[in-house]
Amino acid sequence: MNLAIFTGRPAFPSPLYVGAPIVEAATRRRFNNYMAGVFERNYFTNNGPLVQELERKIAALHGVKYCAAVCNATIAQILLLKALDLKGEIILPSFTFIATAHACLWQNLTPVFCDISPTTLMIDPEKAEALITPRTSAILGVHLFGNVCDAPALAALAQKRHLKLLFDAGHAFACSLGDRSVGGFGNVEFLSFHATKIFGTFEGGATLTNDAELDARIKFLRNFGFKDYDDVEYMGLNGKMTEASAAMGLAALPEVSRRIERCQRTYGLFRERLNGLPGIRLHPVGEKGRGNFQYIVMQIDEKEFGVSRKVVYRVLWKENVMGRRYFYPGCHGMAFYRAAYPTPPGRLPVTDAVSERILCLPSNLKNPDRDVARIVGVLRAIHQNAKEVKQWAVQNP
């Protein structure tokens, strides 16, 4: 049997990750040139010229008036929640990266977790409406896996109930719903430029808004709240982006379309090869607008596939295919939130079910044709040897 759990020989000699895009030679050259300028100027942070240039370009790319670049998306979210001076409760999906929930707590907001749609895997506006109370101050939608959530329905709801509307666009760089780009939905959105994103600046993030006052407040807040050299107007923090991160961003920006095309091609290869394999469903990307294909996500139906996601995940790791369970078990299922903000069992049925089935596949492959064929070969072998694989899992807990 052709599986490492039985033969001891993994399909891939070195691990394949869900992770950072391969940085192109041209990007590396441009980065070195930008950095030469940074050393020439001897100016490394505190709203430098490269940060400002990056902000202009990111705003233009997303068709919004204002962009504030910061050191990461978690800080972007903390800053914008503070800038909006939100209080009470905030409604957000539990099916997201933990930072989305944590950042709310830094503004003393109570997170109220909302279930997701089984089709989009993003916040369900109808379920969000049912969670509104007199203490609710905002709804926070999350655009996941390179798709845009139902922002128009959330906008109608926020307007009807006089709530602020924000979006975590950490996964949605350069994405759109129809022809409406991410960045212009709600009061404000924020992006992540973490190394593992389609557009990365090592660490980094940004807020996007068409509200001049809000943008100005975020920019004060990211610089300790300084109004001028000797006075602070707000309780700010240090959220500044460095010139080195901005250099990386400016160097990578010309490649974003090609990166998306490469990811889309890899996604297409997976779709082709997975076709006909029972119990595996590839999550659609870009069906309602422009997607960025940075995450290749599948759901595994244990009954049809023969083996649970939990076991598939373990076998793939043995094969050096480092899939990730984004976002298992959902924020509400993590120890801290179970203790501090317990969610009654069964209140988030779709989140619970999906987080048991989800698996993200490696997407930044050096040789996509060869690697996709081999990854899918491993999945087929698991399915074909389901009984033995399950026995192995029981014997090797």
Q: How far is the CB of 71 from ligand T4K (least distance, A)?
A: 9
Q: Is 174 exposed, middle or buried (0-12, 13-18, 19+ CB in 10 A)?
A: buried
Q: How far is CA 311 from CA 246, 306, 397, in A?
A: 41, 10, 10
232 binding ligand T4K? (CB under 6 A): no
Q: How far is the CB of 56 from ligand T4K (least distance, A)?
A: 21
- Alpha-helical (H) ranges within the chain are 4-7, 25-41, 49-62, 73-83, 98-106, 125-130, 151-160, 212-221, 243-252, 256-274, 302-305, 309-318, 335-340, 349-357, 368-384, 386-395
Stretch that binds ligand T4K, among 12-20, 249-257, 282-290, 342-350 (CB under 6 A): 12-20
> Would you say 74 or 136 has its CB closer to ligand T4K?
74
Helix, strand, coil percentages, rounded to 5, for the chain: 45, 15, 40
Exactly one of 89, 168, 215, 243 binds ligand T4K (CB under 6 A); which one?
A: 168
Residue pointed to by tokens 């006052």? 213
**Taking CB under 6 A as the rule, which mask of x and - marks residues 43-82 in contact with ligand T4K?**
-----------------------------xxx--------
> Would you say 123 or 381 has its CB closer to ligand T4K?
123
Q: How far is the CB of 191 from ligand T4K (least distance, A)?
A: 8
Exactly one of 23, 153, 195, 282 binds ligand T4K (CB under 6 A); which one?
A: 195
> Would you say 357 or 383 has its CB closer to ligand T4K?
357
Partners of 206 in the β-ladder: 69, 191
Exactly one of 10, 170, 249, 306 binds ligand T4K (CB under 6 A); which one?
A: 170
Q: How far is the CB of 203 from ligand T4K (least distance, A)?
A: 6
Partners of 275 in the β-ladder: none
> Would you say 314 or 383 has its CB closer to ligand T4K?
314
> Would you say 202 or 226 has its CB closer to ligand T4K?
202
The DSSP bridge pattern shows strands 205-209 and 226-228 to be unpaired
> Would you say 55 or 383 has its CB closer to ligand T4K?
55
> Would you say 20 or 155 has its CB closer to ligand T4K?
20
Cβ neighbors of 24 (< 8 A, separation 6 or more) are: 255, 258
Q: Which helix (H) or strand (E) holds 206?
A: strand 205-209
Q: Residues 114 to 153: which contact ligand T4K by CB under 6 A?
A: 142
242 binding ligand T4K? (CB under 6 A): no
Give the 3-state secondary structure of 356-374: HHEEEECCCCCCHHHHHHH
Neighbour tally for 380: CB within 10 Å: 16
Q: How far is the CB of 23 from ligand T4K (least distance, A)?
A: 10
93 near 113, Cβ under 8 Å? yes
Both tokens of residue 203? 């660490």
Q: Residues 318 to 347: which contact ligand T4K by CB under 6 A?
A: 322, 326
Stretch that binds ligand T4K, among 95-103, 273-281, 282-290, 328-336 (CB under 6 A): 95-103
Torsion of CA 335, 339, 340, 345, to 10 degrees: 90
Site residues (vs ligand T4K, CB under 6 A): 17-20, 72-74, 96-97, 99-100, 142, 168, 170-171, 192, 194-196, 205, 322, 326
